[in-house]
Amino acid sequence: MCAAFSAALLALSSAPPSHAETPWFLANIGTATQVLSVVGTGGATAKMDVWQRGANGWQPVATAIPTHIGASGMTPQSHDGEMKTPMGIFTLDFAFGTKPNPGGGLQYVQVTPDYWWDGDMKSPTYNTMQICKKADCPFDTNPASGTENLYIPQYAHAIVMGVNKARVPGNGGAFFVHTTDGGPTAGCVSLDDDTLVKIMRWLQPGALIAVAK
């Protein structure tokens, strides 16, 4: 799959598509030219198709990439602690990871043990990345609060999904596309790290992710 994905990217950039296709998310993505489509296949699994729009319309760059989603499936409205992946169209805001920047068009942050995603619903920085020593963090760092330390193997590479950008407490946060550990997630979308890196190198600002059952 990884080799096929690289070849598809090369072919897409070097030759015009023979015909356009009509992706399911077309009515809801505005002027975006890159979309990661994630469609559930049952339980905590899904498939990802990678789409690009060019002069001749939409073409799939790669298809049927195996992914994991939330342990409890998908939901039309995310809530903290549900273990469900939110459905809808979301921005891909920036990338981060414990490993060095693999390249690509998105801003990348290489994290250390001092990087957190604030899940404390009482915190003014809820649902944002924060940097602090654990003892000095002004928010609750206990995992029970929903806060995550970002220096973990599953975040070797990750892309931030723009879910709950209004940061409404209780409506969920810390939704990423990230490296899989082989099992269901707490609500994120995860996939093979090598494939994820190829996607990250391809992505440009303005890309979206579309999630549906």
d(CA 90, CA 32): 11
Q: Give the pLDDT band (50/70/90) at residue 45.
A: very high
What pLDDT does 9 receive?
52
Q: Is the pLDDT of residue 134 over 50?
A: yes
What pLDDT does 21 receive?
79
Q: Give the pLDDT band (50/70/90) at residue 18.
A: low
pLDDT in tens, 136-193: 999 999 999 999 999 999 999 999 999 999 999 999 999 999 999 999 999 999 999 9
Q: Please answer whether residues 117 and 161 qualify as being in contact, where contact means their C-beta atoms are separated by less than 8 angstroms.
A: no
H or E segment and range at residue 66: strand 57-68
Q: Please, what are the domains in the chain?
A: 2-10+32-212 (2.40.440.10)
d(CA 196, CA 108): 14
Q: Give the pLDDT band (50/70/90) at residue 23.
A: very high
d(CA 33, CA 199): 14
Sequence-separated (6 or more) residues with CB below 8 Å from residue 136: none
pTM, entire model: 0.91
What pLDDT does 185 receive?
98
Q: What is the mean pLDDT of the chain?
A: 92
